Amino acid sequence: MTFSNLVVAACGIVLALPSAAQTQYPVKPVRVLVGYAAGSSTDIVGRVMAERLGAYWKQNVYVENRGGAAGNLAAEAAAKAPGDGYTLLFAQNGLAISAAALPNLPYKAEQDLVPLAPVAATPHILIVASDFPAKSVQELIARAKAEPGKFAFASSGIGNSDHLCGELFNLMAGIQAIHVPYKGGAPASTDVMAGRIAYYFAGMPVGLPLAKSGRARALGVTSKQRFAGAPDIPTIAEQGLPAYEATLWQGFFAPASIDPALAARIASDVQTVLAQPATREKLEGAGVSVFEDSQANFRRYFHAEIEKWRNVVRTANLKLE
């Protein structure tokens, strides 16, 4: 066989090799990094998806919590992981906020991570203690204006979605309040219920059960329209701040080194699992709305979110570092 024939034969062998997406996946457990504490909204939704994907793939999919730094510890670990599909990141708005406001992070979300598939998009819910004097958004604003700097609001960490919800609210309402960051939504809610903190823009999986059980009082939701899971709770927009709107979204990301075909395969599998009635029932039971879209649209959405929060941080002159 001539040298040229050998080259042709070798090329044929290479072309015949199956891509990563065509081979069986996954053949071992898949790790899902979540940058928030157990019991947080993102953790709750991430665990639902890990369970459902595990059942679909017939493989163990487990959540690893790496809380802290507004989700950036987990995001950095995911960005530096091998792009073999066995380390995924389940993230939320905080990832876009950090990309917009923290230029000195040890990773670059737009370059080092690939958006795979959205999962949920749900408003935050503004909660106060069940015996808090204010019974509406207007009353909360009036009391905060009467005592500037006295009230405090909670968040699950500096730069997280709930933090920016609070800052946007204070900016639009023209009030001064002290930001108190926690290590997750659960401890933030605990101090609100105890009356140590005035208010908190909780994620629905955390805040709605507290409001429904009477352990906290819900003053409003952050979407333009009322939330289908709690239609009796008015929006903040209809209570004197018509331009106010914020959404907590969550979805899967992978290291940028992942093979595009494998990324598309995982994105498609997430969409398939989201379409299953059992998955929808679990997510809706957790108080979230399903967010289904293509990988391409999610990529565009993610970059648009970065630009949106960049404008908010600039307008409010926020220092998140």
Give the per-residue pLDDT at 321: 66
In a domain, 5, yes or no: no
Same domain, 253 and 304: yes
Q: Are 210 and 127 in contact (CB under 8 A)?
A: yes
Structure tokens at 202: 């909780």
Looking at the fold, whether 136 and 220 belong to one and the same domain comes out as: yes
CA–CA gap between residue 306 and residue 234 (Å, rounded): 28
Q: Is 18 exposed, middle or buried (0-12, 13-18, 19+ CB in 10 A)?
A: exposed
Q: Which amino acid is present at 267? A: A
Same domain, 82 and 167: no
Is residue 291 situated within a structural domain? yes
Tell me the residue range of the domain where 223 lies.
Answer: 123-239
131 and 277 within one domain: no
Q: What is the CATH number of the domain that holds 86?
A: 3.40.190.150
- E strand map for the chain: 30-34, 61-65, 87-92, 113-129, 152-155, 178-181, 199-203, 216-221, 247-255
Is 99 within the bounds of a domain? yes
Residue 288 phi, psi (nearest 5): -120, 160
Question: What's the pLDDT at 69?
Answer: 86
Quick one: 117 and 252 in the same domain?
yes
Which tokens go with 68? 């802290």
62 shares a domain with 34: yes
- Of 213, 239, 265, at which residue does a domain stop? 239
**Residue 2, domain member (yes or no):** no
Helix ranges restricted to H, 58-136 = 72-79, 93-101, 109-112
Q: What pLDDT is attached to residue 170?
A: 94
User: Under DSSP, is residue 153 helix (H, G, I), strand (E, B) or coil?
Assistant: strand
Classify residue 91: in a domain, yes or no.
yes
Residue 170 and residue 102 share a domain = no
Residues 132, 109, single domain; the answer is no
**Same domain? 175 vs 225:** yes
Q: How far apart are the first and last CA of the chain?
A: 65
234 and 144 part of one domain: yes
Residue 243 identity: A
pLDDT given at position 14 = 44
Residue 255 and residue 117 share a domain: yes
Domain-embedded: residue 6: no
Rg over CA atoms, the chain: 22
Residue 90 maps to a domain: yes
Tens of pLDDT along the chain (321 residues) come to: 444 454 444 444 444 444 545 578 999 999 999 998 898 889 999 999 999 999 999 999 999 999 888 899 999 999 999 999 999 999 998 999 999 999 899 999 999 999 999 999 999 999 999 999 999 999 999 999 999 999 999 998 888 889 999 999 999 999 999 999 998 888 999 999 999 999 999 999 899 999 999 999 999 999 999 998 899 999 999 999 999 999 889 999 999 999 999 999 999 999 999 999 999 999 988 888 999 999 999 999 999 999 988 888 888 787 776
Last residue of a domain, one of 239, 261, 294: 239
pTM confidence score: 0.83
The last residue of one of the domains, among 175, 207, 239, is: 239
Helix (H, G, I), strand (E, B) or coil at 224: coil
Indicate whether 87 and 128 sit together in one domain.
Answer: no
Coil, strand or helix at 125: strand
**CA 271 remoteness from chain centre:** 17
Rounded Cα distance between 205 and 175, Å, is 27
**Within a domain: residue 79?**
yes
